[in-house]
Structure 1
Amino acid sequence: MMKNLIAVGKVIAPHGVRGELRIMPLTDFPDRFEQLSSLLLEDEKSLTIAQVRYHKQYVLLKFKGLDSRNDIEWLSGKILYIPRDQVMPLSEGQYYQFDLLGLEVFTEDEQYLGKLTDILETGSNDVYVIEQEQSGSKPLLIPALKKVVKKIDLENKKMIVVLQEEWDDHAH
């Protein structure tokens, strides 16, 4: 069930007494709350959005039918989701982290390197952490650069990379 849900916010606490909730956005597009008509809870219960406004780094949300602090207290700490098909489209060559995690990583000559298990954000470029199959092997760290990552095929859950010479010692 959770596979097709994407977290977009976490309920921090009620805001005021009229049923507004303070939400910490978990999305790179916090203004996208204005385009949504509803949000889902983990159990896929849908909440219809009545009002969206912003306060400091928070999004203040009001849901239809939840008009007092008592109506919303139970939502504190809950994660709010959208269906996978409602995520913002990215431009060509950009990917969501949740789409990349779990990809099988191969060299251009089809040598299997391992699974992409983590993404480190280093500032200049992201670094993909590839967990190798052999036990005791250190994870491969592959920079997310066009010259290294040759192809990302989400449909087949594959990534093709070119290893640089200095990595070849570690790859075998």
Structure 2
Amino acid sequence: MSSKQEPVVLGKLGSCHGIKGWLKITTYTDSVEGIFDYSPWLIKEQGEWREVKVTQWRFQGKAVIAELEGVNTRERAQMLTNCEIAIPAENMLDLPVDEFYWRDLIGCEVVNTNGYNMGKVQEIVETGSNDVLLVKANAKDGFGKAERMIPFVTEQFIKTVDLSAKQILVDWDPDF
């Protein structure tokens, strides 16, 4: 991993709201307002990350809108529509023990309690009841699997997560 990590994308700027430069905000945080716990934001404009500050925000119905410092016209706001919102990786909030950011789980090797290497976490899917690891099987998978879906249920299926070793120990049958 490089010493300078890629910024963590938390959402994106949506369409304009009104004539004073406010923008709708699409968030990827657990709670809609959680994106405002981070400051300053980085936005990717014309392929380059630059720092911006939110001067104010509010709910507009079920959505949120925000005013960015220096963006005070509809025309300027339109130029930012669909720009990603991110923060530097080192600004991520610390999580309680046994909670993980999805981005840290992607790429981890998944090994079952019998020592069988089941592959790498390719993505994580939110199902409502629990998250599910989508594990891309190794090329020479002896069970003919291309991928596996393993529920991220700690203690039952997920035994340990070692982020420093990039490994997840699971209680899961490789044939399933």
TM-score, normalised with respect to structure 1: 0.84
* CA deviation string 1:37-93 (max 9, x = no partner): 321123221112211212123221111111111222110111111112222333222
Matched residue SS, 1:41: strand
Q: Contact 1:106 / 1:161 at 8 angstroms: preserved in 2?
A: yes
RMSD between aligned residues: 2.2
Percent sequence identity is 26
* Structure 1, unaligned runs of 5 or more: none
Structure 1 partner of 2:72: 67
2:137 is the counterpart of 1:132: yes
Q: Contact 1:49 / 1:63 at 8 angstroms: preserved in 2?
A: yes
1:154 to 140, 144, 163: 163
Distance in 1 (CA, whole Å) between partners of 2:11 and 2:139 is 37
* Structure 2, unaligned runs of 5 or more: none
Q: Contact 1:33 / 1:52 at 8 angstroms: preserved in 2?
A: no
Distance in 1 (CA, whole Å) between partners of 2:54 and 2:81 is 16
2:123 is the counterpart of 1:114: no
Letter in 2 for 1:20: W
Alignment CA distance shift 1:37-1:126 (3 Å): closer
Distance in 2 (CA, whole Å) between partners of 1:142 and 1:32 is 28
Matched residue SS, 2:104: helix
Alignment CA distance shift 1:48-1:17 (3 Å): same
Once the two structures are superposed, the pairs formed by residues 5-20 of structure 1 within 5 Å of their partners are: 5-20=7-22
- The alignment of Structure 1 onto Structure 2 pairs a total of residues equal to 167
Matched residue SS, 1:98: helix
Structure 2 partner of 1:143: 151
Once the two structures are superposed, the pairs formed by residues 50-61 of structure 1 within 5 Å of their partners are: 50-61=55-66
- Judging by fraction of residues, say which structure has more helix: 1
